[in-house]
Structure 1
Amino acid sequence: MAGIDLREKALRLLALREHSRSELAHKLAAHATGDDVATLLDRLVELDLLSDSRFAHAYVRSHAARFGVQRLRHELARRGVAEALMDEAIEAETGADEFARAQAIWKRKYTSAPPDMKEWARQARFLQSRGFSSEVIRTLLKDPDHEPA
């Protein structure tokens, strides 16, 4: 693929949403050689059209209402974001409201505390799949109306 076509493809992808460098490299790899893709990505970073930091903040901002910190970290790592950028984005966009976010998600799905161990395990698995820590899950399922200090 010619350089101009590759650049246009990259710009079209970036116009749709923010991408991490790794994601964009993966999407463009089928259309050009690795060196061409790397050169283009370097240029996009230089022009501030591509930013892993901006991607991480946007991703966390749009997914924090549905997922816990563990899930957010996993998804960002899967998309090639550096750990320092993950920490920065998660701290900036979620703060320390892990319990409150888990409680809001739990309340949308369930109306009452689990009456038995089978239901407790089912609700715990749901929250765990959303990326919440076992400490948050235990606290929430023990006392769903608990207000953290």
Structure 2
Amino acid sequence: MSIEPGAASPRDDAIRLLARREYSRAELVLRLSARSHSAAAIEACLDELNEQGLQSDARFAESFLRSRVARGQGPLKVRVELERRGIDRAQAAATLAAAEQAGEVDWFELAAEALSRRFIHPGDSPRERARRERFLAGRGFDYEQIRYALERLDHAD
């Protein structure tokens, strides 16, 4: 592979990206490919970065989970977003399970907090209740978490 004078290597580009935030391996492949690096050079570079602990899909998944919890997003949405960013299902499920077991996130309480921030009063009509349910479902909470949050808001008065 010949590198033009002044052109960055895949490693330089990857380090520059990773200095800003964590990236999944799949995201880095896309970004580095867009910069016209060869597939073989990208794979070799990412293997080396992984061995050196500079890139880790597990660390990316943990960081991503924390950022989405801070936004008030639920486990269903987080899992889908992780998979969209190249994290396999098993890794995504393991990350979510580890966060729950460590007590870092309580999805039921997070759903209740997200609902109470968005809606001050409980929905008096079936239409308003459905609106609140859609809000939480759109945030990625499951039925049980939604029901819990609605009950908490109903009893908050």
Deviation at 1:4, TM superposition (A): 4.8
Query: Bigger CA drift: 60-69 or 50-59?
Result: 60-69
Q: How does 1:1-149 map to 2 (within 5 A)?
A: 2=3, 4-31=8-35, 32-65=37-70, 66-94=72-100, 95=103, 97-144=106-153
Deviation at 1:74, TM superposition (A): 0.6
Cα deviation per residue 1:66-89 (whole Å; 9 max; x = unaligned)? 111101101100011122221222
Q: TM-score, normalised by structure 1?
A: 0.89
The one-letter amino acid paired with 1:80 is: G
Q: TM-score, normalised by structure 2?
A: 0.84
* Cα RMSD, aligned residues only: 2.1
Q: What residue ranges of structure 1 are gaps of 5+ in the alignment? A: none
For 1:104 and 1:140, the matched residues in 2 are separated by 8
Q: Would the aligned equivalents of 1:102 and 1:127 in 2 still touch at CA under 8 Å? A: yes
Q: Would the aligned equivalents of 1:61 and 1:93 in 2 still touch at CA under 8 Å? A: no
For 1:120 and 1:80, the matched residues in 2 are separated by 35
Deviation at 1:20, TM superposition (A): 0.4
Q: Calculate percent identity across the aligned residue pairs.
A: 38
Q: What residue ranges of structure 2 are gaps of 5+ in the alignment? A: none
SS at match of 2:53: coil
The one-letter amino acid paired with 2:57 is: D
